[in-house]
Chains A and B, each alone.
Chain A
Amino acid sequence: MRKVFSIVFLLSFFYSYSQDFIEKAQVNGSFQLDGQYYHADNAIGINDSTIDGRKLGLNGFGNISYTLGKFSAGVRYEAFLTPIAGFDPLQQGNGVPYMWASYQSDFIGVTVGNFYEQFGNGLILRTYEEWTLGYDNSLNGMKLVIRPATGITVKAVYGSQRYYWQKFENGNRGIVRGLDAEIDLNSTIKGWESAPIRVIFGASGVSKYQKDSDPLFNLPENVSAFAGRMNLSAGKFNFATEYANKINDPSAINNFIYKEGQAVLSSLSFSQPGLGVVLQLKRVDNMSFKSDRGVDGNALDINFLPPINRTHSYSLAARYPYATQPNGEMGMQFQLNYKIPKGSKLGGKYGTGVAVNFSQVNDIVRNPINDTTPVNSQGTLGYESDFFKVSDHIFFRDLNIEINKKFSRKWKAVVQYMNLYYDIATIEGHAGEEPVKANIGLVDVTYNISNRNSLRLELQGLFTEQDDGDWAAAMLEYTIAPTWFFTIADQYNYGHPDKSQQNHYYAFSLGYVKQASRIALTYGRQSEGVICIGGVCRQVPASSGLTISLSTSF
């Protein structure tokens, strides 16, 4: 079917643009290759049998797209031969998992083939890809976008989702259908264009179909979810909220319970030059929504439940990342950004940036549906949960303060303190392990030797009694703008309770950047850890060896 569509598209545009299709067209693309060569390193627990002959991991992709006026088409080739350590073995393979053609005008847009789409915050539908995680849940089908009047957008999508390299056939997974409408009142209603309040409403519905071939349960073959959202902005204030509801959707993730699901995400912010404050609240209850009820890994998600805590960039601060618990959580997040003005006593010549961030996520309260059924029993309604009740069980808490200061043209620094509570038993599935309570401090100092040459030193410490104990990290980077960088880094797990595992994880990197091309080489050790992007996390095993990363766009 896809073949027919593509041929029709290609033919129709050849016919109408036969003179222009070479001169006026544009072809763009990008390319990336990440490779790792592993070697045994007994000190950090990697021996020849862990490598098991897979000495080389190579993940690569190439994108290419063709645009001619309102028409565009493209393909992406991917090869994971073999996948880099930590990627799902199902990733192994090569081919063209992504191929599309589209026509876009002001009134209508049509896409056939593979596509990415998001309704609102994604609470009931979001397809996207994260190369660094090996995550891709793109839809393969059709997408239609219509803008019947200024400020009104209606989108309709249907298709099947990508599951690594497995073709969709014989109903081996579900079909997804969705509709979304958004209205921006200020653009639609005459006279409201410059009103002091800006109002946007949106509504969406998604339905999935998957055959019931389960002998134990009487399963719903069509599962729908609905969401409504609103965005209000008035002057310095902005309020946004989205509510989503899903009907009974027993699945491997929720232990086959028939309860309905809910999610709410709200934020209120105030900001003016030099000051920004935002408060976010979230509740998730039984809201995992996948196009295959049997899948329990990081794949085939129809929706996206955003974790709202801060995503840290410094290595030790990012050591314990949080991932949304789709079966239930209640969270809040507060952030304050303030710039102490230039010329004031604390602000100095350039001003000083201060950021305070706090987030906490707790479990929801689950009460049994009756006296005889334990909470969350399969084949029942599962549990009852009071919308406003918060459980005492804390999944995650992060308080961090960051100060950003430029002292002179030569010197600047970032200082950060962070206090963390991390329920490793829930988040990483290490049952019975004590929650990690950690204090993390770091300093990042930059010294500009000249306009083009600069040195940057990062010192970090992570102090905890739990898990692997204390860590210290240091990194020195030398850059020659805009082309070269060299770094030398070490992470030292000096507080590991097992003395034989108090390892150094050293690494040397160098890189060269020219325009949109970048090549980087790293040699050294990588400690075991978790990488999370969005709600998806990937366990990265310890490794030792040479890493190469090549990327270019044209």
Chain B
Amino acid sequence: MKKYTLLLIALLAFIFISGCDKIDPPYVNTPGDNGGGEEELVQKVLLEDYTGHTCVNCPAAAKLAGDLKQLYGEKLIIMAVHAGYFAEVESPPFDLDLRTQTGNSWNADFGVISYPSGMINRGFFGDRRVVGKGDWAPRVATAVGIDPKAGIEIETTYNESDRKLEIKIDSRFLENTNENYFLQVCLLEDSIPGAQRNNDASVGDTPTITDYFHRHVLRKGVNGNYGEAVTAGAIVANENYTHEYSLNLNADYKAKHCSVIAFLYRTSDNEILQVEERHILE
């Protein structure tokens, strides 16, 4: 009997001595070479951050998104969707309404119930679609590593005098497909000043950051909440599909902070194939 005990204790020692990964600094990986913009098509990734101004854990998530942006540069496109309970209008300073009809319907459709939550290319990654910020980084890393299957080009013309914005989008697929793809176009405004609840002292003041900038805020679904079909028929490889839109920029939006995001998604599972962003003044 003693033998068994000794054997088991030896096993215990083995498992736990070998099962320890003590990490030494530096803990954070430094941004590497993001690869050039020389190749014709670059796979880009959309990180949707569902957030709200009274959500205490949201600034830390926004910071994480920013850190990922630092790491991946233009390969990562961030869109903050203000929706749900924590985005509701309350007494000042939380009287800013950043919710949109488009954001509200996505929030309901994708079943976002806790905040911050995010989706990476609206993909499941073999698991769940909507995940907490802890799962964002590995998913973004996986998603940027995929070979591109389509490309998007955005051209914008903005007329300062009448605030008219013209958008032209060219989509191109590398292979023929019979699957249905939709093009969704959105207008974003960056760095909107406002107040934000916060509980992370390393991000800012707690419990309220009074001079917060809401980043990458979804302002409008340019072509509705779900976009429109890329083409009526089957998609042909290397064919250019052009869509044009025009709108008047809301007087409250600062043109120098506005950009257009376009993404192609498969209607069967809503997964995003490719995404692009362009500043309207570029």
Q: Which residues of A contact B (CB under 8 A)?
A: 88-90, 146, 148-149, 152, 154, 156, 166, 169-170, 172, 177, 179, 181, 205, 207, 209, 213-224, 226, 247-248, 250-253, 255-256, 258, 292-297, 373-380, 425, 429, 431-432
Contacts and interface: CB of A to CB of B under 8 A. Distances in A.
B133 A247 contact: no
Nearest to B63: A378
Nearest to B125: A172
Contacts of B16: 179, 205, 207, 224, 226
A248 B68 contact: no
Contact of B19 (A148, A166, A222): A222
B71 A216 contact: yes
B60 interface: yes
Contact of B114 (A209, A297, A378): A297
Nearest to A144: B8
Contacts of B64: 216, 378
B276 to A, nearest CB: 21
Nearest to A204: B12
A373 B26 CA distance: 14
A181 B9 CA distance: 9
A296 B133 contact: yes
Contact of A222 (B11, B20, B140, B197): B20
A222 B17 CA distance: 10
A152 B1 CA distance: 10
B67 interface: yes
17 contacts: A148-B1, A148-B5, A149-B5, A166-B128, A179-B16, A181-B8, A181-B12, A205-B12, A213-B141, A217-B137, A220-B21, A222-B21, A258-B23, A294-B132, A295-B132, A377-B202, A432-B207
A216 B29 contact: yes
A377 B137 CA distance: 17
Given A172-B126, A222-B20, A296 B132 contact: yes
A216 B22 contact: no
Interface string B189-207: 0000000011111100011
Tell me which of B25, B26, B27, B201 has the highest count of chain A C-beta atoms within 10 A of its own C-beta: B27
Given A172-B127, A216-B28, A294-B138, A179 B133 contact: no
Given A156-B8, A207-B15, A215-B141, A375 B208 contact: no
A181 B199 CA distance: 40
Contacts of A429: 56-57
A425 B207 contact: yes
B174 interface: no
A217 B114 CA distance: 24
B113 interface: yes
B105 interface: no
Nearest to B68: A216
B91 to A, nearest CB: 11
Contacts of A220: 21-23
A300 to B, nearest CB: 11
Nearest to B203: A374
A169 B128 CA distance: 13
A258 B27 contact: yes
- Does more than half of chain A's interface fall in helix, strand or loop, or is it mixed? loop
B29 A247 contact: no
Contact-residue size bin, chain B (C-beta under 8 Å from the other chain): 35 or more
A292 B206 CA distance: 28
Given A214-B138, A293-B134, A219 B23 contact: yes
Contacts of A292: 134
B121 to A, nearest CB: 15
B54 interface: yes
B20 A224 contact: yes
Nearest to B142: A213
B197 A432 contact: yes
B113 A380 contact: no
Contacts of A170: 126
B44 to A, nearest CB: 15
Contact of B21 (A223, A256, A294): A223
Nearest to B204: A374
Interface in B49-63: 54, 56-57, 60, 63
B138 A146 contact: no
B8 A154 contact: yes
Nearest to A225: B16
A375 B67 CA distance: 18
Q: Can you list the 10 inter-chain pairs with the closest CB atoms, starting with the nearest?
A: A252-B134, A294-B134, A207-B19, A294-B135, A220-B21, A379-B28, A377-B202, A213-B138, A215-B141, A374-B202
Interface string B107-139: 000010110000000000111100111110110
B113 to A, nearest CB: 6
B23 A152 contact: no
Contacts of A297: 114, 132
B8 A255 contact: no
Nearest to A260: B22
B278 to A, nearest CB: 25
Contacts of A248: 21-23
B123 to A, nearest CB: 13
Interface in B182-229: 197-202, 206-208
A294 B197 contact: no
Contacts of A177: 15, 19
A423 to B, nearest CB: 12
Given A148-B2, A295-B132, 17 more contacts: A90-B128, A154-B5, A181-B8, A205-B16, A207-B16, A213-B141, A214-B141, A216-B71, A220-B22, A252-B132, A253-B134, A294-B138, A297-B132, A375-B201, A376-B200, A431-B198, A431-B199
Contacts of B134: 251-253, 256, 292-296
Contacts of A374: 201-202
Given A148-B4, A166-B128, A179 B28 contact: no
Nearest to B12: A179
B114 A376 contact: no
Nearest to A179: B12
A250 B128 contact: no
B126 to A, nearest CB: 5
